[in-house]
């Protein structure tokens, strides 16, 4: 536990201490602001036309979707260095010869990057908070959605981290992470094309988007939690195996 915390502290400092993180934070906030203003304007027009949209699905869901989209790019960029850089700078030698286990290394690094992404997510939470000062709405689905985003960030970080264990080149790792996350995201869109109901529902349930949507609706489904946590465990486990395997090559 102490060892995990030690690695966690070091990783968090190296992520948050790097200018790169702030550049990402700035881009993140800029993109969100532009999108938020746009969806606000859209929501306004639609309300005046009497479409009867509620604020959650009219304003906040587009906002959450844009966070989701940015995460697709931002998370692989934040996680690409986790292992690739250790290998390139030969600091991996230090970790592998210290009296610590591969799982401690992976868990420490995972938690640190997860937290760094959650800080970005907190920036996203500022927009509904500001809206709350001028309008009143039901916070229930909002918290549900953010709980979904919380787990989504974990899943994407674990995928990005796994990608980072694959090669020593950061750029390749970022790209691989991006592709993996994209694949998991697009899996569900194939569901509608399938004629066979078995394959259709299988793809649907394997898709991150399906589970995320139910969180966005404010639904707390056990299968959503189970799916997200399983993904995190699966990719972290594969990362541990990859770290372990570097001893055998």
Partner 1 sequence: MIEVKALSKKYGDRFAIKDIHFTVDRGELVGFLGPNGAGKTTTMKIITGFMAPSSGSVQVGGYDVFENPMEVKTQIGYLPETPPVYMDMRVKDYLKYVAELRHVEKSNLTQYIGEALEKTDLASVENRLIENLSKGFRQRVGIAQALVSKPDILILDEPTVGLDPNQVAQFRKLIKDLKGHHTIILSTHILSEVQASCEKVVIVNEGRIVAQDNIKNLSQKAKAHSQLKVRTLKPIENLESFLSDIEDVLSWDGVGSQWSLSLKPEVSDGEIAAISNALSSAGNGLLEFQVQKAQLEEIFLDLTKSKSNEVNS
Q: Is 16 in the site for partner 1 (CB under 8 A)?
A: no
Only one of the segments 3-11, 62-70, 111-119, 212-220 lies at the binding site for partner 1 (rule: CB under 8 A); that segment is: 3-11
Which of residues 79 and 210 has its CB atom nearest to partner 1 in the complex? 79
Among 45, 48, 50, 97, binds partner 1 (CB under 8 A): 97
- Of 9-17, 66-74, 189-197, 204-212, the segment contacting partner 1 by CB under 8 A is 9-17
Distance CA 32, CA 25 (A): 11
Closest among 230, 176, 175 to 208, alpha carbons compared: 230
| Position among 1, 52, 90, 193 found at the interface with partner 1 (CB under 8 A) | 90
Residues 6+ apart with CB under 8 A from 28: 70, 74, 120, 123, 124
Q: Distance between the two ends of the chain, CA-based, in angstroms? A: 28
Determine which helix (DSSP H) or strand (DSSP E) holds 47, and give its type and residue range: helix 19-48
Both tokens of 50, joined, read: 């009497």
21: number of Cβ within 10 Å = 17
Closest approach of partner 1 to the CB of residue 168, in Å? 13
Which of 50, 99, 192, 197 forms a contact with partner 1 (CB under 8 A)?
99
**134 is a site residue for partner 1 (CB under 8 A):** no
1 binds partner 1 (CB under 8 A): no
Residue whose C-alpha is closest to residue 209's, from 234, 192, 196, 195: 192
Q: Does 94 bind partner 1 (CB under 8 A)?
A: yes
**CA max distance for the chain:** 66
By CB under 8 A, tell whether 52 contacts partner 1.
Answer: no
Query: Is residue 23 a contact point for partner 1 (CB under 8 A)?
Result: no
Contacts to partner 1 by CB under 8 A: 2-3, 6-7, 10, 14, 17-18, 89-101, 246-249
């Amino acid at each position: 536990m102490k060892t995990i915390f030690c690695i966690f502290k070091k990783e968090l400092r190296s992520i948050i201490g790097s200018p790169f993180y702030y550049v990402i934070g700035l881009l993140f906030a800029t993109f969100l602001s532009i999108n938020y203003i746009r969806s606000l304007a859209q929501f306004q027009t639609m309300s005046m036309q009497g479409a009867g949209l509620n604020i959650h699905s009219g304003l906040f869901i587009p906002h959450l979707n844009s966070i989701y989209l940015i995460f697709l790019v931002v998370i692989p960029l934040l996680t690409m260095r986790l292992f690739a850089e250790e290998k390139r700078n030969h600091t991996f030698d230090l970790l592998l010869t210290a009296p610590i286990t591969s799982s401690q290394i992976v868990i420490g690094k995972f938690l640190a990057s997860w937290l760094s992404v959650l800080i970005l997510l907190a920036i996203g939470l500022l927009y509904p908070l500001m809206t709350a000062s001028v309008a009143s709405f039901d916070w229930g689905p909002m918290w549900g959605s953010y709980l979904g985003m919380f787990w989504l960030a974990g899943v994407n970080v674990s995928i990005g981290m796994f990608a980072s264990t694959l090669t020593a080149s950061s750029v390749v790792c970022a790209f691989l992470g991006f592709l993996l996350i994209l694949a998991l995201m697009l899996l569900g869109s194939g569901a509608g094309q399938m004629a066979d109901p078995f394959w259709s529902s299988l793809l649907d349930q394997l898709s991150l988007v399906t589970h995320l949507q139910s969180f966005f609706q404010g639904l707390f489904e056990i299968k959503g939690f189970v799916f997200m946590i399983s993904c995190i465990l699966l990719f972290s486990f594969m990362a541990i195996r990859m770290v372990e395997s570097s001893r055998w090559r």
